Amino acid sequence: MARVLAPDRAPAVTGVRITKTQLLIGYMHAGDWNRALSLANTFRMLGPHRDTIRLAHECRVHPRFYRGLGRDPDAAVAAGIAALRLIYPATRGNQTFVS
């Protein structure tokens, strides 16, 4: 599995800027859904999937709290991943995202 570096750990390359969207897609291609959900949680424009992705991130970070509220954290995270896949479909050749 290819390793994707966080922006603060990425090697300094002058002239090349990696956007948050590119970084998110890299996390998705690498199957790093924890980082993908955390990064997507900071995005402002997620359309109708905004609440789903934010709940997925929160359920991943605080599962006991959401279980106490009667929510299923695993189902919420799965829904958030599905929402990310809808917004940012696989675009690298024949590669598909790994869950």
Domain ranges in the chain? 33-87
Q: With bands split at pLDDT 50, 70 and 90, how would you rate the model's confidence at 8? A: low
CA nearest to 26, candidates 40, 16, 45: 40
pLDDT of 64 > 90? The answer is yes
Residue with tokens 């109708």, as numbered in its chain: 48
pLDDT band at 5 (very low <50, low <70, confident <90, very high): low
15 pLDDT tier (thresholds 50, 70, 90): confident
pTM across the whole model: 0.74
Which value, in Å, is the radius of gyration of the alpha carbons in the chain?
14
